Each structure stands twice: as structure tokens, then as C-alpha cells.
Amino acid sequence: MTGSHLLWFTTRGAGAVSLCLLSAVVALGLLGAVGGSNPRWPRFLTTTLHRNLALLALVFLAIHIITAVLDPFTALGLSAALLPWGSSYRTFWVGLGVISLYLGVAVIATSLVRRWLGYRTWRFVHWGAYALWPLALIHSLGAGSDTRFLWMDIVYTACCGAVAIFFVVRLARRGAGSPEPLPPAPEGPPVWSRLNGERRWR
């Protein structure tokens, strides 16, 4: 296998993995909104796993972009990876991918500095994730060379199905008047309070 073929297969594989991970992140976000207010709900499903999957998706996205830029077949160039619709290869579809990239970076960056931003600002930016996912999906459908294969159709179906199911569940819960869960406690060392001998966040 030549170097160009290796880059091409790596780009395709990393893109598919990124879409799966991003779909899991969005599904977990919706899942957290549904069950986060329940004290019996496993916390790792809505915080730690959600965050780690988002960071892992960013890693595979970086691999996807770097290998696509270096691949001589697509000949994208660095400008195509940084500027929306700056690519000569499937211009519109690649441009959607660039926009979803910037949305993803904004969501993750604000999540990492959430304790300093405040909950309202973080949540406003975090809503970008709900635009990021369909843009990434459409980018994959239009720019991906594997769309014509059955295995990729299965990936698309699984990703859309997972997000759709939890989106419908969330709408149903909101329609039933279920309250939105409170934001989780910020990460970092706890501050001890002598009030009632309990440990409290400040």
C-alpha cells in the first residue's frame, strides 16, 4: 500500500469514527437532559463520558483533517481546511465540514473554561452542538466517498437513529412538564463548609 492510499483510507476511517463519536456525544447530551435530574441516574453517563467522547471525537477529527490536507489525491491544501468553501474538491460539502469544525472547537473550548464563563454563556454556545451534528452529517453524505457502500449506510442509520430517539424522548419529557436538570457541580477541589458539617460547592 502506497503512502497516498494509506492517507486516503485514514481520512475516510477517521471521518467515519468522528461522525460516530459526535453522534454519541449529542445522544449523551440529550440523554443527560432527560435523566440528569434523577438522583439515581449514573453521573458518568452525562458528564465524564460525555466530555471524554467529545475530546476523542476532536482527536479523530484532527486526524481526518490532517490526512485530508496531506493526501495528494484530494489536494485540498491548508486553506480548504481553514476557510469555508475554500476547497476545489467538492466545495460545498467540504465547506459544511469546515463550519462544523469551528462549531465543535467553540463548544469544546467553552466547555473547558466553563467555570469562568458561567452557565448561561456556556449553554448558549453549547447549543451550537445541535447545529454541528447535522452539518457534519451532511458533510459526510456529500463529501464522503463511502456513502455508496452498505456499511456506511448502516453507520448513518445508527447515528441518526440514536440522536433521533433521544431527541424525541427529550421533547416528550418537556411536553410533559418535566423540569430541566440543574447544571452539574463545577470540576475542581471542593470547599469545605462547616454548615451542618457538610461539604458544599462555592
Q: What is the pLDDT of residues 90-109, one digit of tens each?
A: 889 999 999 998 988 888 88
Using pLDDT thresholds of 50, 70 and 90, give the confidence band for residue 2.
Answer: low
pLDDT of residue 202: 38
- The label of the residue with cell 469514527 reads 17
- The Cα-based distances of 76 to 13, 142, 167, 181 in angstroms read 18, 16, 35, 43
Domain that holds residue 136: 3-200
User: How confident is the model over 19-41, as a mean pLDDT?
Assistant: 75
Using pLDDT thresholds of 50, 70 and 90, give the confidence band for residue 46.
Answer: low
Identify the CATH number of the domain in which residue 124 sits.
1.20.120
Continuous H helices in 36-177: 48-70, 78-82, 91-112, 114-117, 119-126, 129-143, 150-175
C-alpha neighbours within 13 Å on the C-beta side of residue 63: 20
- The Cα-based distances of 40 to 45, 118, 143, 162, 174 in angstroms read 12, 26, 42, 22, 20
Which residue type is seen at 108?
A: I
Q: Given a cut of 80, is residue 168 above it in pLDDT?
A: yes
User: How confident is the model over 168-177, as a mean pLDDT?
Assistant: 76
40-49, 101-110, 178-187: segment of lowest average pLDDT: 178-187
Percent of the chain with pLDDT over 70: 76
| Straight-line distance from the first to the last Cα atom of the chain, in angstroms, rounded to the nearest whole number | 57
Q: Say if CB 87 and CB 80 are below 8 A apart.
A: yes
Count of domains forming the chain: 1
Neighbour-count burial for 159-174, b at 16+ CB within 10 Å, e otherwise: beebbeebbeebeebe
